[in-house]
């Protein structure tokens, strides 16, 4: 529990300022803690200029000799034998982190008949690639991938392990962290090194993107994080870059698994892939009825783009779940983003704010979507879109 040292406390109110949960306030010049509201997040402890706040009952776990863990690992992910973009984004980020730490970047490449990808990983920034190639790894299972990564981490002791916050990464990386009894920060959007103690500062959105939290893993190694795709930028590959490729044969007992993959099905998304599209027209609640969504499709076709959806449009059954943009859907950053009948809940905005030009059409002039829009049009999408479609056709001479 959080205790206030009343001798040291000056009642400056710093703790009250920083508390996210309104759990501490200054009364009669001394900080008072509402123990029911306090979540023991520790922000105030670090923020107190007098050192007057401390936790009681916390055991400081320094289970391992922190300094014996070295190196930054990137867990590579192949989808249908091709490296996914987030792996390349992570290599660029790791490169920076490793340089700051004065250590090397190791990529872990698991799969079957994927060794040719090793050089690609090096060209994007890896110094070393651990290749684990085995027929059992041809299809992904949480247990086998998790067992092998755990085993490698125990043997090689990296200080940081990063993986993509993909369906696969978010499924098996938590297994690894739990077995290693270390911390794992999910779905990070920012990574940095704290110079004084080499700690990895992991920034991630919480509360549906409304809040950004920076998290550290002080007493455990490795420091592990999954990282949101399309947030960081990959480097331009250098085909001439040199590195070590190390083949590792997995031990048999790591290869047993209880989940069998019967079939892997690729589903064709509507139009171009959302995360790669240059133009996205997103349909929100303002369409009111399923048939009106065709207006969004028509505009997307005209602009050579694809259709995205808000959670409301998906919940209403107008568009499939894979087209959902935002916190619980896909993050996108197209050149042009047209938000139609989208109110702009923060959960949606965090998934599209990186777009170059944002056009918002909404009948409510107060809708928060206009706060992030490059151009705002106030009106009913059912009235505006047909006009817009007609004018664009006219411009094109159609």
Interacting residues with another protein between 53 and 72 (CB under 8 A): 55, 57-59, 61
User: Minimum Å distance from CB 316 to another protein?
Assistant: 7
- Comparing CB distances to another protein, the nearer of 7 and 366 is 366
- Lookup result for tokens 């008949």: 113
Binder of another protein out of 25, 26, 201, 245 (CB under 8 A): 201
Pairing of strands 160-164, 82-83: unpaired
Are the C-beta atoms of residues 267 and 354 closer than 8 Å to each other? no
Residue 150 CB neighbours (<10 A): 18
92-131 residues near another protein, rule: CB under 8 A? none
Told to check if 333 binds another protein by CB under 8 A, we report no
SS3 at position 207: coil
Residues that bind another protein (rule: CB under 8 A) add up to a total of 115
Beta-bridge mates of residue 93: none
Site residues (CB under 8 A) for another protein, limited to 134-173: 139-140, 142-143, 166-168, 170-172
Instruction: Draw the binding track, 259-298, toward another protein (x: CB under 8 A; -: no contact).
Output: xxxxxxxxx-x---------x--------xx---------
Binding residue for another protein (CB under 8 A) from 62, 138, 246, 357?
357
Helix, coil or strand: residue 36? coil
Q: How far is the CB of 3 from another protein (least distance, A)?
A: 13
| Nearest residue (CB) to another protein, 118 versus 312 | 312
Helix 142-156 to helix 167-179 angle (10° resolution) is 50
Q: How far is the CB of 128 from another protein (least distance, A)?
A: 26
Does the footprint of another protein cover residue 81 (CB under 8 A)? no
**Distance (Å, rounded) from C-alpha 272 to C-alpha 49?**
53
> In 3D, which of 50, 43, 49, 47 has the Cα closest to residue 20?
43
Query: Hey, which residues does 130 pair with through a beta bridge?
Result: 108, 246
Chosen residue from 9, 15, 33, 43 binding another protein by CB under 8 A: 43
User: What angle, 0 to 180 degrees and rounded to 10, lies between the N-to-C axes of helices 381-396 and 293-302?
Assistant: 20
Of the candidate spans 120-128, 152-160, 201-209, 234-242, the one that interacts with another protein by CB under 8 A turns out to be 201-209
């Amino acid at each position: 529990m959080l205790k206030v040292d009343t001798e040291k406390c000056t009642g400056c109110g710093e703790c009250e300022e920083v508390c996210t949960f309104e759990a501490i306030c200054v009364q009669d010049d001394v900080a008072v803690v509402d123990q029911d509201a306090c979540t023991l997040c520790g922000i105030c402890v670090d923020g107190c200029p007098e050192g007057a706040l401390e936790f009681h009952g916390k055991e400081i776990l320094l289970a391992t000799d922190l300094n014996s863990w070295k190196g930054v690992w990137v867990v590579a992910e192949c989808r249908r034998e091709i490296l996914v973009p987030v792996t390349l984004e992570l290599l660029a980020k790791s490169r920076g982190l490793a340089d700051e730490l004065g250590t090397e970047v190791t990529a872990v490449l698991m799969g079957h008949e994927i060794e040719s990808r090793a050089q690609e990983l090096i060209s994007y920034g890896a110094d070393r690639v651990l290749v684990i190639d085995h027929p059992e790894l041809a299809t992904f299972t949480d247990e086998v991938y998790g067992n092998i990564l755990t085993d490698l981490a125990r043997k090689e002791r990296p200080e940081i392990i990063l993986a993509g916050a993909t369906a696969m990464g978010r499924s098996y990386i938590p297994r690894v962290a739990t077995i290693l009894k270390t911390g794992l920060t999910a779905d990070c959007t920012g990574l940095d090194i704290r110079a004084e103690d080499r700690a990895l500062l992991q920034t991630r959105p919480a509360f549906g993107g409304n809040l950004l939290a920076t998290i550290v893993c002080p007493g455990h190694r490795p420091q592990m994080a999954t990282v949101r795709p399309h947030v960081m930028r990959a480097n331009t590959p250098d085909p001439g870059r040199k590195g070590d490729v190390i083949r590792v044969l997995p031990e048999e007992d790591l290869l047993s698994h209880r989940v069998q993959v019967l079939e892997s099905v690729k589903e064709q998304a509507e139009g171009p892939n959302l995360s790669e599209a240059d133009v996205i027209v997103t349909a929100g609640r303002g369409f009111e009825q399923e048939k009106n969504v065709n207006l969004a499709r028509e505009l997307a076709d005209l602009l050579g783009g694809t259709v995205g959806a808000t959670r409301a449009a998906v919940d209403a059954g107008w568009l499939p779940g894979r087209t959902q943009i935002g916190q619980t859907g896909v993050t996108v950053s197209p050149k042009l983003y047209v938000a139609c009948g989208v109110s702009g809940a923060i959960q949606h905005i965090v998934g599209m704010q990186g777009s170059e030009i944002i056009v918002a059409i909404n009948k409510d002039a107060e809708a928060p979507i206009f706060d992030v829009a490059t151009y705002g049009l106030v009106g009913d999408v059912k009235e505006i879109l047909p006009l817009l479609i007609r004018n664009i056709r006219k411009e094109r001479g159609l």
